[in-house]
Structure 1
Amino acid sequence: MSSSFTRPGSASHVARSSWSNPSSRISSAKHYSGNTCPYCHHPVTMNEGSGAAFQASLHKLFPGAYGLEEFVFLTKQTLVAEGFYPHVNTFVCLGLCRDEITNPFELAVEAMWGQAFICGSLGGMLFCGKTGFSAAHHHAPEAGYFVYYCFTHIAIDHEGSVGSVYRSRSGMKEKTTACGALAAFTAEIASNKLNLNFDEDDIEMSMLKKHIITQTGLSTDATNAPDLFKVTMAAYKTITMDLERHVRSDSEKFKDRKYALFTGVQIHGPNGTDYCWIGKASLLRKGILLPLVIASDIEPLSSTGPSNPTSH
């Protein structure tokens, strides 16, 4: 299992490095004084270097990606300025894939904001529907504050191979895929064996394929088959559209609520590292969806990346 975050104070609480130099993003420690995290002030251990091949793939595909803990910290800093206070007036909702290697994201968010309502499924798709979103929105007052982190995921190994990850903590020695569901979808298209029939024994996967194609127009032509990166981006766009639709519906009933929406891609790197690429950050209040600028006291891998994922 890939893991880059444990609750503060544990032996494996991981430190990230200087963000001004991509090649030293893991191996250096310019932001750290001794062995103490500058945010939670607990002991940290440094990860080994992730390698040039990984860094090259990460920089090419996900410019501007942040380390997982920095991402969660910066979003919290951004939202405090908007009146969102952890453990005081804010309810957090998480939409992640069921894969166990997404767990560091859940731990990071809950350590910062408190217990989360889980609304994700395979690939991070939001299939909890109107009933699920309604349930979440009934867990806070009418003038409540909501934060949504809804992310699909992908892996990049030390060789720079996209979709490849080692799950050494479960005893596996060979490479596996992430996201497995999206990789299977990609393979179906490429082999010209795409099955869009509804399977009651495989509900989420059946819905995932059909829904992504319907929402984004993803190519299903085997002669022009999308790769895993393109399928992942299509999943991200679908998640974003679904989230905004459901939250807008709630905001029509509760005019005084505030909603912060973060969507993107969680990237699993080598040596148990995790990164977050922010595709879209928005603040919804009084029915108006506005861009949300993330606090920038930590420099991301690249400041030249696209602000809108549709440019990929």
Structure 2
Amino acid sequence: MKPATPEHPAPQDADARRAVAPVICYPVQHLPDPGLPALRAARAGWARIGEHVVPAREARCFEVPAGHFFRITSIEGPQVGDLNLWSADLSERFYSGKTRALHGTHLSAGDRMWSSFPTLRPMATITEDTLDWYGFDAFGGGVHDVIGTRCDPYTHNLLSDGGQYHHCCHSNLTRALSQARGLPLAEAERHVHDVLNVFMCTGFARDTGQYFMKASPVRPGDFIEFFAEIDLLGALSACPGGDCGGEHSSDKAACHPLLVEIFRPAAAPEGWAPPPPNGYDRSHGTAE
């Protein structure tokens, strides 16, 4: 733990150092426009072609072809979900850290979920978010974060003096991927990665910098919707923390199922094409 008070005295110019203005690390004006109006227009006349109910404290996998939409909806009570995305062949995975660096700590409509190196391309674009009204609260909390990882049995074991809990989101996602693709658990686990924390309300405590959670504002009928930019395999865990207003990784919280729906548009969005892999030549300076 960090000491309650600094161990070293502040220099005379401490205030001047703190007053230095920040610089945005990744200016995004040159990112390709997601074309949100065209994506939304493509929903006219769409057909629902699949649905998956994710039981409380469990996870399920689902496939979404490129050019289709998927929607995650709260259906019975306030519930947080942990979302993993891969390319359909598992060669690409959602890169939460780079997505956070490009779009910020919490995602909403118009933001994109980016894949890992070396492809670094949009995997999905958020087309609608019924919780966009929440913004950031007085504690600095927001909804749909890419700052947390996923609750997992390893951290639970460390913090609970050896506890063995098997319905953490990490384990839920591992079981779901193992079952969906016929992979041994150990192999499936290597594919499970950091998530988009759907509906979760989180931030960083201003005094300690610690990651916090608070009860999600989500209610039945709220949803977040995505457009698949490439052929996707998704996995969603209904977190054992329920609305994450108290604790997670336990059977104490009230938990509810989540609904995933897949939609096929009548026609591809105007001007849309699947994004190519990143254009970097991958020589890493060896050809210079």
Task: State the TM-score, normalized to the length of structure 1.
Answer: 0.27
User: When you count strand as a share of all residues, which structure comes out higher?
Assistant: 2
TM-score (norm 2): 0.29
Higher relative contact order (CA 8 A, sep 6+): 2
